[in-house]
Amino acid sequence: MKKLIYLLIFIPSLLIAQQGKVIEGTVIDAALQMPIVGASVYVSSAIIGNETNTEGVIQGSMLGTTTDFDGAFSLRVGADAKFILVSYMGYETEKIDISAVTKKLSVVLKESPENLQEIVLTGYQKIEKRKMTSAYAKVEMTDINQAGVSSVDQMLVGQLSGVVVQPTSGAPGAPSKISIRGTATLNGSSDPLWVLDGIPLEGNDIPQDFRDKDNIDNLQSYPIAGLNPEDIESITVLKDASATSIYGARAANGVIVITSKNGKKGAMRINVNANVFVTQKPDFSKLNLMNSSEKVDFELLLASRSDLKYQQDRGGVARILNNYGEYNNFRDNGFTSISLDAQNEINNLKNINTNWGDELYQMAINQQYGVSISGGNENNNYYFSTGIFDEKGATKGTGQKRYNITLKDNFNVNDKLKVGVALFGSQNTTSSYITGADAYTNPSFYSRNANPYLSLKDADGNYVYDPDLVERSDLNLDYNVLEERENTNYELVASSLKAIFDVGYKLNKEIHFNTQLGLQLDFDKTEKYSDEESYYTRKYEQRSQYTSSGETLYYMPKGGIIQNWNADGFQYNWKTTANYNTSFNTIHELDVMLGTEFRRNKRTEIHTKGFGFNSNTLTTTAITNELALTNSLFDAYGKTYNENAYASFFGTASYTYDKKYTVFGSLRYDGSNLFGVNPKYRYLPIWSFAGSWNVYKEDFMYDVDAISDLKIRASYGVQGNIDKSTSPFVIGEYYTTSVLPGVSEEIIRALSAPNGNLRWEKTVSSNIGLDLGLLNNKIYISGDYYARKSTDLIGLRSVPLESGYNFINTNWATVSNKGFELSISTTNIDTPHFKWTSGFNISHNKSIVDAIENREEDFKPSLKGYSVNAIFAIKTAGLDSNGLPLFWKDGVKVSAVDFYNLEEGTDGSQLTREEHRDLYTYVGDGTPKFSGGFRNSFKYKQFDLRVLTNFNIKQTVKTTPSYNPALAQPGNSYNTDILKAGTGSYPALIGLTSPGFDTDLVYTWFNSSDDGKTYNDLDIWVKDISYIRVSSIKLSYAIPKSKLEKFSLSSFNFNIEGRNLFVLGTDYNGFFDPETYGSLYAQPIPKIVSVGFNLSF
């Protein structure tokens, strides 16, 4: 082991030189400013003497001395000696130039960072940093902690190189999508594995397409949602194969290891913190919507044009004109020719300006509190904490409330046996609004479409229903956003308990055993309630419509609808390792670990629905109509049960030679329950090997002053995954059915097509890295280059229908990811009163789909040769004289008719799918070219200022078109782009009879025939964005210790913090945030100002 034992055998009499000089001085500890006793002071070891097998131990004749009890030394050196070295165990060796020394030296030694024994916790092992061969990134919670943030994923944005964290929505409790080194799958989850103190956490995957209107409003319980950031000590992200392979198949997307706080030796320490944070109302004007005056004028414009007939009777203006029977009169003769009453009524519309920003969004005052008690002694340490987090979202009706309790205790039963217990309990309630099946009622979406002149309540306080939110031209189910908020409710209460038991037994110095049992219990209760008087209920009722003897009836009983989803999750994870750590002949170090892991999880979900719900009696009414039996929307009860088991065997071995060279290898066999899966895939081998070279330890580095650390790392590994849903056998699922009346039978329905040829997905990764410390590690640089190739990725492929199936799972794609990561941390200024430190990281990932099987029926081009998130668009070439869009085809400007090959007398384009795909051009990568962050901390006396920023550079994004020229209608509100229609690159509004060549064909195409939705893919809706977001500015003040002593306080800090205050970069007009650019459904990312204090005693 690393034991720097300086045995300085000094025989002065032999070495007294005839000539020379005497160097005198003292050696002082940099931190304590105390003399160091017994430090070695010598001329270079390279000159005289024989090095022993142990580093730093010098034998034999050697010129040098040690310091006395006052830290003083006196050394006679030769006249030609230019330098002396001063070293002490655990401190960095100093090299002093003595050529011009005349007076007494004062040598300051600093603790060596290496000797601080920096340990990397992988969840399985504690590895000394010097022996690390793999790529990882680590961040201390104190550096990134932010007030008003419920979950740690949001704090990681821009903090770790190679880890791209993208907020999905500003909703309270919304998850952030994390991708580590790009995407290794095209279909499966790309979420990393979260590990808490060694236990992999279970939870829902973040939906692949979070922008999807249904996913974005769906409340779910994610793995780390229940964890209080206050309980976290540090976060380590394992990135390359040699680091993650020990986690097996689940770690294909990287691993995030959370290390929670432990009690520290010393007296009991109580810490209290409290924050009040104010969530600002979002800047609604960012959406650039029309105001009432603009909207009314726009409707008048539409009504005045005889060619624009699409849904022409909608909107306030058309309703007034039709009421007065003046529509045609207005169109033919203009505004002044219609009756004065009609004119007045229309002008009055302009004066009603409903501010949807105020109706749907709010400023909210929120709170967060935490108390922790910790302490310990030689044999025991403890940590206890509790916290409350209570947030109301900027979107009305949303919120999150969490209670946490954490208990940890570690005992040393005796010299050999250690026991640790940890309990993490939480209850996390998230609430949101209900959206219907079509999400018109998503507030962000609705606020863009609702007319600015629409009142929400009439003079008597009754709800005014939106006359333009209609299901069909003859059906309006009466939507009012206030009524909907009042009468509906959507809430998820996630209760979670995680318990971890650790036992460590140290057989002797070299061998120890560890076993760890982790339990996770989750209870997720979701309730959706809608009162009888709500749009949601009215819409639901429509689904029960039937006719009986010419009468339209509904079989859904009158009353509210109550829907519950109760999920019950349980997992245990039991792993046992045997560790053998030894060193021999003092230059060989060997660390071997063998282990087993057994994991089992179960999840039961019960979904119930009740109709005719009375919120006073809490009773429901049964549906008696038999028609309901065939409509699953009205199933009263559903249950699902899932169970999975995993058994794994693994081992790692690491050998270090002379503290310079380390080789590492790991192998893991992952077995899981694979019902019906080809037995040869039951155990997946996952392996890696790696090596590192600690260049700094080489002799030739002693003289390179500027470099204080240098290490080169390389790794290679293979990971795999098998699709559990595919089997070489025909697997069936039980159902019941009734083919003929009166007989109900159990049936077995084939689950999916059998496929005996399916191979496992395989990812091969390699990594080369460099760690470099400069100027006593004042500058520390870590860089990594990696390449990952994922082959045989599994995806759905369409097959001939004659096979009996539409789609089957097959190995259909190969994806490569290449990239680099760079992180630099610097201490820019370090004086007793002022200190400035920075952390900067940047990463780049480029994915390429090397092979992919095309689907014949696809509208969009194949990704082959492009990035996973490649964006394809249709190249427009401006507008023609009538404002119709022109396109580039083979270098020539052509009309839509020629471009799409539109023909008279047919419904749409005559293009084959292949020709359709050829319309597209690659325009950019949806993944940012560079992303990263920049962190700066300033400390001046008692003040601390911390600024966190993150950036994305050159990301191609596609927005949702603000209007469609053939679907523009007076009933909707639009963003002001539509006022520019016909100018610049904005296509003019057209109808069937609008002027221009074959405009009717173009109209029909964009109005209804464009099955591939190419209008949304025009390049005018695509742009490259780059931005830097200032995610947090925090100023804190620590009351000087001297003033605290009389209150027996150890620290008392006040802080004020602003989160997400501003974004610099490309404009993102029309949307709240650059992160959610193009999403009509995302809630704004909240701007938060918080004030709080932190008190310890």
- The region, left, alpha or beta by phi > 0 then psi within -120 to 50, assigned to residue 483 is alpha
Instruction: Out of 142, 379, 588, 675, name the contact with another protein by CB under 8 A.
Output: 675
Other CB atoms within 10 A of residue 138 CB? 16
Verify binding: residue 134, another protein, rule CB under 8 A: no
Which 525-554 residues touch another protein, going by CB under 8 A?
547, 550
Span interacting with another protein, options 154-162, 745-753, 823-831, 887-895, rule CB under 8 A = 745-753
CB 875 within 8 A of CB 934: no
Instruction: Out of 337, 806, 921, 993, name the contact with another protein by CB under 8 A.
Output: 806
Verify binding: residue 618, another protein, rule CB under 8 A: no
Counted residue by residue, the chain has a size of 1097
Verify binding: residue 804, another protein, rule CB under 8 A: yes
The CA distance from 420 to 464, in Å, is 61
For another protein, how many residues bind (rule: CB under 8 A)?
A: 65
Span interacting with another protein, options 490-498, 517-525, 674-682, 684-692, rule CB under 8 A = 674-682
- Closest approach of another protein to the CB of residue 509, in Å: 13
Instruction: Out of 645, 829, 892, 1064, name the contact with another protein by CB under 8 A.
Output: 645
Instruction: Out of 335, 565, 805, 840, name the contact with another protein by CB under 8 A.
Output: 805
Q: Compare residues 353 and 737 and give the one whose CB is closer to another protein.
A: 737
CB 569 within 8 A of CB 520: yes
Verify binding: residue 113, another protein, rule CB under 8 A: no
Verify binding: residue 732, another protein, rule CB under 8 A: yes
- Closest approach of another protein to the CB of residue 55, in Å: 30
Verify binding: residue 755, another protein, rule CB under 8 A: yes
- The region, left, alpha or beta by phi > 0 then psi within -120 to 50, assigned to residue 411 is beta
Residue 731: strand pairing partners: none
Span interacting with another protein, options 334-342, 345-353, 906-914, 978-986, rule CB under 8 A = 906-914
Chain centroid, CA 286 distance in Å: 25
Helix (H, G, I), strand (E, B), or coil: what is residue 965? Answer: coil
The CA distance from 276 to 87, in Å, is 50
Verify binding: residue 671, another protein, rule CB under 8 A: yes
Helix axis angle for 340-351 and 316-323, nearest 10°, is: 160
Verify binding: residue 629, another protein, rule CB under 8 A: no
Verify binding: residue 801, another protein, rule CB under 8 A: yes
Q: Compare residues 50 and 640 and give the one whose CB is closer to another protein.
A: 640
Span interacting with another protein, options 213-221, 317-325, 636-644, 995-1003, rule CB under 8 A = 636-644
| HSE toward the beta carbon, residue 609, CA cutoff 13 A | 16
- Closest approach of another protein to the CB of residue 603, in Å: 11
Helix axis angle for 316-323 and 292-304, nearest 10°, is: 60
Listed in sequence order, the residues at least 6 apart from 1018 whose beta carbon sits closer than 8 Å to its beta carbon are 873, 874, 876, 885, 961
Verify binding: residue 474, another protein, rule CB under 8 A: no
Q: Compare residues 527 and 998 and give the one whose CB is closer to another protein.
A: 998
- Closest approach of another protein to the CB of residue 634, in Å: 17
Verify binding: residue 647, another protein, rule CB under 8 A: yes
- Closest approach of another protein to the CB of residue 757, in Å: 8
Question: 160, 131, 153: which is closest to 823 by C-alpha?
Answer: 160
Q: Compare residues 345 and 568 and give the one whose CB is closer to another protein.
A: 568
Question: 221, 153, 287: which is closest to 1083 by C-alpha?
Answer: 287
Helix (H, G, I), strand (E, B), or coil: what is residue 295? Answer: helix
- Closest approach of another protein to the CB of residue 647, in Å: 4
Helix axis angle for 340-351 and 292-304, nearest 10°, is: 140
Listed in sequence order, the residues at least 6 apart from 172 whose beta carbon sits closer than 8 Å to its beta carbon are 150, 391, 392, 393, 398, 399, 400, 430
Q: Compare residues 441 and 516 and give the one whose CB is closer to another protein.
A: 516
Helix (H, G, I), strand (E, B), or coil: what is residue 342? Answer: helix
* 460 backbone dihedrals φ, ψ, rounded to 5°: -90, 5
Verify binding: residue 605, another protein, rule CB under 8 A: no
Span interacting with another protein, options 109-117, 639-647, 893-901, 1034-1042, rule CB under 8 A = 639-647
Verify binding: residue 1040, another protein, rule CB under 8 A: no
The CA distance from 890 to 862, in Å, is 20
CB 915 within 8 A of CB 901: yes
Other CB atoms within 10 A of residue 575 CB? 21
Q: Compare residues 16 and 801 and give the one whose CB is closer to another protein.
A: 801
The CA distance from 672 to 599, in Å, is 9
The CA distance from 428 to 222, in Å, is 11
Q: Compare residues 57 and 592 and give the one whose CB is closer to another protein.
A: 592
Q: Compare residues 439 and 731 and give the one whose CB is closer to another protein.
A: 731
Helix (H, G, I), strand (E, B), or coil: what is residue 731? Answer: coil
- Closest approach of another protein to the CB of residue 728, in Å: 10
Radius of gyration in angstroms for the set of CA atoms belonging to the chain, rounded to a whole number: 35
- Closest approach of another protein to the CB of residue 732, in Å: 5
943 token code pair: 């003040």
The CA distance from 692 to 711, in Å, is 7
Span interacting with another protein, options 379-387, 412-420, 643-651, 1078-1086, rule CB under 8 A = 643-651
Q: Compare residues 218 and 596 and give the one whose CB is closer to another protein.
A: 596
Verify binding: residue 730, another protein, rule CB under 8 A: yes
Which 972-1011 residues touch another protein, going by CB under 8 A?
1009, 1011
Residue 541: strand pairing partners: none
Instruction: Out of 215, 291, 427, 596, name the contact with another protein by CB under 8 A.
Output: 596
Verify binding: residue 911, another protein, rule CB under 8 A: no
Listed in sequence order, the residues at least 6 apart from 629 whose beta carbon sits closer than 8 Å to its beta carbon are none
List Cα–Cα distances, 985 to 364, 811, 884, 978, 989, in angstroms.
40, 42, 10, 11, 12
Span interacting with another protein, options 84-92, 236-244, 743-751, 960-968, rule CB under 8 A = 743-751
Span interacting with another protein, options 177-185, 292-300, 566-574, 750-758, rule CB under 8 A = 750-758
Instruction: Out of 657, 661, 729, 1047, name the contact with another protein by CB under 8 A.
Output: 729
Q: Compare residues 344 and 737 and give the one whose CB is closer to another protein.
A: 737
Q: Compare residues 916 and 946 and give the one whose CB is closer to another protein.
A: 916
- Closest approach of another protein to the CB of residue 1011, in Å: 7
Verify binding: residue 642, another protein, rule CB under 8 A: yes
**Strands of 72-77's sheet in order across:** 72-77, 21-29, 105-109
Instruction: Out of 32, 475, 624, 741, name the contact with another protein by CB under 8 A.
Output: 741
User: Which H/E stretch holds residue 896?
Assistant: helix 896-899
Verify binding: residue 270, another protein, rule CB under 8 A: no
Helix (H, G, I), strand (E, B), or coil: what is residue 614? Answer: strand
Which 566-595 residues touch another protein, going by CB under 8 A?
578, 594
Site string for another protein, 1009-1028 (x = CB under 8 A): x-x-----------------
- Closest approach of another protein to the CB of residue 801, in Å: 4
CB 1071 within 8 A of CB 1084: no
The CA distance from 514 to 504, in Å, is 4
- Closest approach of another protein to the CB of residue 794, in Å: 14
DSSP 1006: I
The CA distance from 965 to 974, in Å, is 12
Verify binding: residue 918, another protein, rule CB under 8 A: no
Residues near another protein (CB under 8 A) are: 507, 511, 547, 550, 578, 594, 596, 598, 641-647, 649, 671-676, 682, 727, 729-735, 737-743, 745-751, 753-755, 798-806, 808, 856-857, 906-907, 913, 1009, 1011
